[in-house]
Structure formats: C-alpha cells, structure tokens
Homo-oligomer: A and B are copies of this chain.
Amino acid sequence: MAIDHLDGRLIVLLAEEPRIGVLEASRRLGVARGTVQARLDRLQSNGVIRGFGPQVDPAALGYPVTAFATLQIRQGQGSDVRTHLATVPEVLELHTTTGSGDMMCRLVARSNADLQRVIDLVVGFEGIVRASTAIVMENPVPLRIIPLVRQAAEDDND
C-alpha cells in the first residue's frame, strides 16, 4: 500500500512519458528491466495503478461545458437515484457526501443550453428533492495526481 521512492519515480516517469516501454523506463531509472517489470506488476495488483487507459477530454469530444450538481435525495430513494444517474452518459461521476446535500455529481454538456437538458434528465426523477448546480468557468488545476505521488513517495523514503 505504501510506495517507496523507486515506485514514485516510476509512476512520475510513466505519467510524463507514457510511450516509453519497460526497457526504456529501466534505463531511465537506472535499474534492471526485471525490477521495473516487477514493480509495475506489484503496483497494478496493489491497485495503486488502475490501468493505462486513454485519457479522453470531454471538451474535445464536443462537451465543453462542465458543471457540478448537488442533489438532495428523499429518504430511502438513494439506490434508485444512483441507478438512474448511472444510465446518463453526461454524468461523469457521482458521490454520496456528508453536508448540506446528499449527492454530488459532475456533469458535462454540449453547450449551456444543452446543460439544461442534462439537468432536466438528472433531476427529473422522483426521489430528488432539490438540486443546485454550479457551472465551471475555469479549471486552474486540472485533475492531477503527480504531486500526491511525489509526496507519498517521500513520506516513506526508503
């Protein structure tokens, strides 16, 4: 579960230059190929690295509008709402949270007008009492993990 410094360097290296293979990575890190392969296998079976799937940009797909919706759910309807939201492609993620609302989801849409359609799709469902939406204007820090990896690798410096 904890990663050491070599793990951290490997993850950062792969994040910065995903095209390089195991052999090139071993050269960059100054270790044997087998070591890199073993570390990668371990990181993947650990679940630290979930996979190497393509990172798709919704904006480039034609969905440039992002919004966060906070949903308040009627008691006992949570399960139905989840099932419903999971069927909506524009719902990119859904969390249940503490705090004022009960759920929080990330939405995308083709335009501000299209966002209305998506919101209607999302909240037009029995069980949702109230919804408030915040439209994203800028994204100063895009979803990132590298700084956290660096910190995690430094915390248990081998």
Chain A residues at the B interface, C-beta cutoff of 8 Å: 1-3, 11, 14-16, 18-19, 46-63, 66, 68, 70, 82, 85-86, 89-101, 104-106, 108, 132-145, 147-152, 155
A62 in contact with B152 given A49-B55, A93-B142, A140-B82 (CB within 8 Å)? yes
A143 to B40, alpha carbons, bound, how many Å?
A: 23
A1 in contact with B62 given A53-B14, A86-B140 (CB within 8 Å)? yes
Say yes or no: B2 contacts A62, CB within 8 Å: yes
Min CB distance, A71 to chain B, in Å? 12
Say yes or no: B61 contacts A148, CB within 8 Å: yes
| Interface secondary structure of A, over-half rule | mixed
Say yes or no: B132 contacts A99, CB within 8 Å: yes
Question: This chain: how many copies in the complex?
Answer: 2
A95 to B135, alpha carbons, bound, how many Å?
A: 9
Cross-chain contact of A54 among B11, B70, B104 (Cβ < 8 A): B11
Closest to A93 in B: B143
Min CB distance, A29 to chain B, in Å? 15
Say yes or no: A95 contacts B145, CB within 8 Å: no
Cross-chain contact of A57 among B48, B63, B105, B141 (Cβ < 8 A): B48
Residues of chain B contacted by A100 (CB below 8 angstroms) = 132, 134
Say yes or no: B55 contacts A139, CB within 8 Å: no
